[in-house]
Amino acid sequence: MYKFEHPEYIWFLAAIPVAIAIFLVFRIWQKSAQKKFGALLPEMAKGLNRTRPYFKTTLIIIAFGFLALSLMNLKVGTKMETVKRKGIDIVFAIDVSKSMLAEDIAPNRLSKAKFLTGKIIDQLKGDRIGLIIYAGAAYPLLPITTDYGTAKLKLDLASPDLVPSMGTALSDALKFSQQFYNDESQKNRMLIVLSDGEDHEDGWIQEAERLKEQGIQLVTIGLGTKKGAPIPIKNKRGLIRDYKKDYDNEIVVTKRNESTLREMAQKTGGTYYDGNDANLVIDALSEQIEGMEKMEFEAKQVSDYQDQFQWFLGAALFLILLDSFIGEKKSFWMEKIGLKK
């Protein structure tokens, strides 16, 4: 098992293709400028190695990549241990239908749903969690686990692209969640549905009643506004090129269906929250979870993580040192490894 202590530094790796592009543009400009010297150029460049700049730049770029990895600090788990915890089982069912891409709340409904889920996970202490995504059908994203780190990584992947069937089937999400809990002895179970409330199929009432019969507490979180917004269609660069249209070629405006989510919670004795007020949702739901009776259970977790940053840092320093010994002119030992042009 491995993890990065500081995954935010991964953005440093994005500088690598930028550096490569800048270097190539500079070399093109340099060659263009050199042509102005005409016949003097061969004499001026005598003894210089034409491939050496590429080799030196490659070393620096790779060294920078290793430095970024060292800052991220890869940790490798070397031992599994069984620990006893107290908590409840919580399953998050996240709506990933196309309507969740509407941008009536920033940056869009789906991003807000993932943000809320991540913040709620951050507040948990010993509870087991699972992730479901749904649109036209429901699919497992992460089985019940105590590994919050993996849960947040999986959460980032949630998108409409992971669900092949379009539409929004709340009933399917409710039905699928009932078989998602893997411990029948666990009495305190909670299902948190994050959605804009749109439902293209019937049957959610029956499934909600079954949840109540099984003692699964339902919480619904509504996302979006009553005014609504169109569903953007974006290109690969993330720019809006059009909006989703109906059969009459009219732009579709999707609105939050608060009444469905409220009714769903009420029928099961659960709670509805307005997801647009993030702080209120996080605080109130965390307090609600904390007030539920906890059950003790055993869980396996990786312990004794060991830092691995020193390997990447050592490789970076070696490459930087190697670069400092390589000059622009030809040398005998560099000719031996094929850099004699």
Task: Give the domain ranges of the chain.
Answer: 2-73+308-336, 83-299
Q: How confident is the model over 294-315, as a mean pLDDT? A: 72
> Would you identify the CATH topology of the domain 83-299?
Rossmann fold (3.40.50)
Query: What pLDDT shows up at residue 185?
Result: 65
Percent of the chain predicted with pLDDT > 90: 34
**Residue of 75, 126, 65, 62 whose CA lies nearest to 290:** 126
Query: What pLDDT shows up at residue 340?
Result: 47
CA dist 317 and 47 (Å) reads 28
**Residue of 57, 100, 91 whose CA lies nearest to 198:** 100
Query: Is the confidence at residue 42, as pLDDT, over 60?
Result: no
Tens of pLDDT, residue by residue over 215-233, are 899 999 999 999 999 999 9
Query: Is the confidence at residue 50, as pLDDT, over 80?
Result: no
Q: What is the pTM of this model?
A: 0.65
Average pLDDT of every residue of the chain: 83
CA dist 322 and 27 (Å) reads 22
Query: What pLDDT shows up at residue 119?
Result: 95
Q: Please name the residue that has the structure tokens 């109540």.
A: 212
CA atoms within 13 A on the CB side of 311: 7
Query: Is the confidence at residue 116, as pLDDT, over 50?
Result: yes
Tens of pLDDT, residue by residue over 134-186, are 998 899 999 988 888 889 999 999 999 898 877 778 888 999 998 888 766 66
**Residue of 60, 70, 75, 74 whose CA lies nearest to 15:** 60
Q: How confident is the model over 240-251, as a mean pLDDT? A: 90
Query: Is the confidence at residue 338, as pLDDT, over 60?
Result: no
Q: Look at 73 and 30; give whichever has higher pLDDT.
A: 73
**Residue of 265, 272, 276, 294 whose CA lies nearest to 124:** 294
Q: Look at 248 and 109; give whichever has higher pLDDT.
A: 109
